[in-house]
């Protein structure tokens, strides 16, 4: 009888399984690190009020479209925020004069940072500086009043 003296081969699947588990743990820790550094709250304090506010905003944007007004916003980053220039135009593209134009700064991921700012009239429309206390995602809502009509339009803004 002949005896085989070669050492027995170990199967490779336990090592592959351990490597996959370590990779999963590493990926999970990486996602946790990203999530903890970029909090984005999805829940508001008062859901009813937030829903009502969103309905009013959509109604105002539809009213703006029905009036034939276009609200355009140009922004330029500044060290402490952003400088905005708002232009109002009618359906034909001609500039519109407004009695009052304001801008509302909203932070969708964090409460307590929303604020309203009046914009001053300039030759090109209306302009003003809007401080942004934190980097990230912001919503800017422009509100224009003219002859009893109110028009609104929202803009998304990302500041690094």
Tens-digit pLDDT profile for residues 69-94? 888 899 999 888 999 999 888 888 88
For the record, the structure tokens of 125 come out as 């429309």
Considering the chain, what percentage of its residues have pLDDT values greater than 90?
A: 25
CATH number of 68-159: 2.60.40.1930
Quickly state the pLDDT bin for 129 (edges 50, 70, 90). Answer: very high
Q: What is the mean pLDDT of the chain?
A: 84
Q: What's the whole-model pTM score?
A: 0.64
Mean pLDDT of the 32-61 span: 76
Higher pLDDT, 45 or 55: 55
Instruction: Report the residue count for the chain.
Output: 160
30 or 43, greater pLDDT: 30
Confidence at residue 40, expressed as pLDDT on a 0 to 100 scale: 59
pLDDT tens digits for range 96-117: 888 889 999 988 777 788 899 9
DSSP states along 6-72: SPPPPPSHHHHHHHHHHHHHHHHHHHHHHHHHS------S-HHHHHHHHHHHHHHHHHHHHHT-EEE
């Amino acid at each position: 009888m002949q005896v085989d003296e070669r050492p027995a081969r170990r199967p490779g699947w336990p090592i592959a399984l351990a490597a996959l588990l370590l990779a999963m743990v590493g990926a999970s820790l990486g996602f946790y690190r990203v999530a903890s550094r970029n909090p984005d709250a999805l829940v508001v304090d008062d859901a009813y009020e937030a829903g009502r506010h969103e309905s009013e905003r959509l109604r105002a944007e539809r009213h703006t479209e029905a009036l034939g007004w276009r609200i355009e916003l140009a922004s330029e980053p500044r060290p402490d925020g952003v400088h905005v220039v708002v232009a109002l135009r009618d359906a034909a593209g001609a500039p519109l004069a407004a009695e009052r134009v304001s801008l509302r700064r909203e932070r969708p991921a964090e409460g307590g940072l929303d604020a309203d700012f009046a914009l001053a009239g300039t030759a090109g429309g209306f302009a003003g500086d809007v401080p942004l206390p934190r980097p990230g995602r912001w919503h800017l809502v422009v509100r224009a009043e003219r002859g009893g009509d109110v028009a609104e339009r929202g803009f998304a803004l990302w500041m690094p």
